């Protein structure tokens, strides 16, 4: 049997930028083929070619021996932005791709039953009538995965499907993908999580500079070797330099209740990173969303010793509280330039005031691009052309340039490669050294342990355990999140 997907010499340019420089790649039936590489290496561009969003400038792409244009219906896709319509129900999102049958006046019960069955196959208990907007990010990811698996496709293409999922949900998804492989379905799997890739894939291809720099089987390589191939050099694992926090309390919370979590009582000192960890839906993200004015909450809070109450992000920024989330669809204005995104709110950047000359704006944006090492074509380039890691650095730069006392992070490096993640951690470390207090909510236990001075482990909306110093290990955090005790 021939290759299910075959790409030969694929080239794609965007202006002066060559995203793909002669990519050769195959996906066999019943194979999980992982695609790894830095942001900007060409992974997303290749997926967009497969989906029909872009056409290759040269080269050949075939599916099942037929030209891609005639056989694209044999592929199902899950992109980083998930492709869900938030105002519609889960079942109706399934109907968008599977059809609505004879639905005219009454709800299509058959569609709801099929939707529930597809979700149950992944171990997900979600009412198909639930609006997608009411689901947390991790549940939305599982809905997108289940919807793709609902189609009778010969191959499934997944772009960072586990970026915002905790370990328990990751393993559930990986088990479902292994079942697909056993049925003869091909899986093209894009991820930055190297341990996950080695545990799942039959073959791994490293993209660097728009070409396949390396293709190996997992048993033929190690995480360190993969990381070195991705970067073109050995990678030093990021680890935040832990210092004693300053004596002053930057954030104090008493009796905070939000989104079913709490009541929470805590303090974060200047220069300290407080990690909030837990399984999906455990409540670890509620603190940050409440303090940034993204949801209703009750209780009391102080920032820098002053009473704090934010009903909106504007209130939060005015009081010295900034936010960086993992959903770049909500954090960046894609139709605008890099400069416009960096200086989106002049009241909270170096460009104070609303009347700014374009020349000064470009010069200021250029300085920020250099300071935060953002790989961009220039201040006037569209932010939508940036890789995920560089777009996230734009979001972080904008937040830090507001000069906050407290920075709230939620899944901040979802979909960010190992190199960009190390740079992101360095920027946070530098800001903490200058006195910034950070609250980090993440489902990535390794990230929480690498970055945090203390960790609050959440379960069912309450703090199960507080860990500090040598207690902050992946094993201890994971065990506490699951309600157990590490050996």
pLDDT on residue 139: 80
pLDDT on residue 14: 83
Q: Which of 190, 179, 261, 194 is nearest to 227 (CA)?
A: 194
pLDDT on residue 56: 95
SS3 content of the chain, % helix, strand, coil (to 5): 35, 25, 35
DSSP 56-125: -SEEEEEETTEEHHHHGGGEEEE-TTTT--TTSBHHHHHHHHH--TT-SSS--HHHHHHHHHHHHHTT--
pLDDT on residue 136: 74
pLDDT on residue 106: 42
List Cα–Cα distances, 381 to 13, 340, 362, in angstroms.
15, 10, 11
Q: pTM for this one? A: 0.62
pLDDT on residue 34: 96
> What would the two tokens of residue 288 be?
């940050």
| 312, 328 contact by CB (below 8 A) | no
pLDDT on residue 191: 86
| 124, 118 contact by CB (below 8 A) | no
The rounded average pLDDT for each run of 10 residues, N- to C-terminus, in the chain (487 residues) is 90 86 95 88 90 93 93 85 88 82 58 89 84 83 80 84 70 82 91 87 94 94 84 55 77 93 93 88 87 93 95 93 84 87 73 66 89 88 84 92 94 78 88 94 85 90 90 83 57
Q: Which of 223, 224, 220, 203 is nearest to 212 (CA)?
A: 203
pLDDT on residue 175: 84
**What phi and psi values does residue 287 have, to the nearest 5 degrees?**
-60, -50
Residue that is written with structure tokens 């360190």 in the block: 224
Evaluate whether 5-231 and 239-482 have a shared fold. Answer: yes
Task: For the chain, give every domain's residue range.
Answer: 5-231, 239-482
pLDDT on residue 487: 46
Planar angle of CA 149, 154, 158, nearest 5 degrees: 50
d(CA 283, CA 461) in angstroms, rounded, equals: 5
pLDDT on residue 235: 46
d(CA 134, CA 84) in angstroms, rounded, equals: 12
pLDDT on residue 1: 61
Local structure of residue 30 (DSSP, 8 states) = T
d(CA 416, CA 385) in angstroms, rounded, equals: 15
Q: Identify the CATH homologous superfamily for domain 239-482.
A: P-loop containing nucleotide triphosphate hydrolases (3.40.50.300)
d(CA 116, CA 98) in angstroms, rounded, equals: 14
d(CA 435, CA 33) in angstroms, rounded, equals: 44
CATH architecture of residue range(s) 5-231: 3-Layer(aba) Sandwich (3.40)
Neighbours of 434 (CB within 10 A): 9
Residue that is written with structure tokens 């009347």 in the block: 355
DSSP 164-197: T--HHHHHHHHHHHHHHHHTT-EEEEE-S-HHHH
> What would the two tokens of residue 452 be?
């945090």
How many separate helices (H) and strands (E) can be counted in the chain?
17, 20
> What would the two tokens of residue 384 be?
């939508």
Residue 355: is it exposed, middle or buried by C-beta count within 10 angstroms (0-12/13-18/19+)? Answer: exposed
Bridge partners of residue 315, in order along the sequence: none
**What phi and psi values does residue 212 have, to the nearest 5 degrees?**
-80, 105
């Amino acid at each position: 049997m021939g290759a299910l997907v075959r790409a030969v010499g694929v080239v794609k340019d965007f202006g002066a930028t060559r995203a793909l420089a002669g990519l050769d790649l195959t996906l066999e039936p019943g194979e999980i083929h992982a695609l790894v590489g830095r942001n900007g290496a060409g992974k997303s561009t290749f997926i967009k070619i497969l989906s029909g969003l872009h056409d290759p400038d040269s080269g050949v792409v075939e599916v099942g021996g037929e030209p891609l244009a005639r056989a694209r219906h044999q592929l199902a896709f899950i992109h980083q932005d998930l492709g869900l319509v938030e105002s519609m129900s889960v079942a109706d999102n399934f109907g968008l791709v599977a059809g609505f049958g004879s639905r005219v006046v009454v709800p299509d019960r058959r569609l709801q039953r099929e939707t529930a069955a597809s979700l149950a196959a992944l171990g997900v208990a979600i009412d198909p009538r639930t609006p997608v907007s009411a689901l947390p990010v991790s549940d939305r990811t599982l809905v997108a995965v289940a919807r793709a698996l609902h189609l009778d496709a010969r191959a499934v293409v997944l772009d960072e499907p586990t970026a915002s999922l905790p370990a328990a949900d990751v393993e559930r998804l990986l088990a479902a993908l292994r079942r697909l492989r056993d049925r003869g379905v091909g899986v093209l799997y894009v991820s930055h999580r190297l341990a996950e890739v080695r545990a799942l894939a039959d073959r791994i291809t490293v993209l660097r500079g728009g070409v396949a720099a390396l293709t190996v089987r997992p048993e033929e390589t190690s995480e360190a070797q993969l990381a070195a191939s991705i970067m073109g050099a050995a990678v030093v694992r990021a680890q935040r330099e832990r210092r004693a926090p300053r004596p002053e309390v930057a954030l104090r919370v008493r009796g905070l209740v939000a989104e079913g979590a709490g009541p929470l009582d805590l303090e974060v000192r200047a220069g300290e990173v407080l990690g909030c960890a837990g399984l999906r839906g455990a409540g670890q993200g509620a603190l940050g969303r409440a303090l940034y004015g993204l949801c209703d909450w009750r209780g009391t809070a102080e920032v820098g010793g002053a009473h704090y109450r934010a009903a909106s992000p504007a209130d939060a920024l005015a009081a010295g509280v900034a936010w960086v989330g993992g959903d770049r669809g909500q954090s960046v204005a894609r139709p605008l330039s890099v400069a416009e995104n960096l200086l989106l709110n002049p009241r909270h950047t170096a460009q104070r005031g609303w009347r700014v000359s374009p020349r000064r704006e470009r010069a200021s944006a250029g300085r920020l691009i250099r300071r935060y090492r953002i790989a961009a074509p220039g201040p006037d380039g569209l932010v939508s052309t940036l890789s995920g890691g560089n777009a996230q650095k734009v979001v972080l730069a904008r937040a830090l340039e507001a000069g906050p006392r407290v920075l709230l992070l939620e899944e901040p490096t979802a979909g960010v490669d190992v190199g960009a993640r190390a740079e992101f951690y360095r920027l946070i470390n530098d800001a903490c050294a200058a006195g910034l207090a950070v609250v980090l909510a993440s489902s990535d236990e390794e990230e929480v342990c690498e970055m945090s001075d203390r960790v609050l482990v959440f379960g069912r909306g309450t703090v199960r355990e507080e860990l500090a110093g040598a207690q902050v290990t992946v094993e201890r955090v994971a065990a506490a999140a699951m309600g157990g005790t590490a050996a």
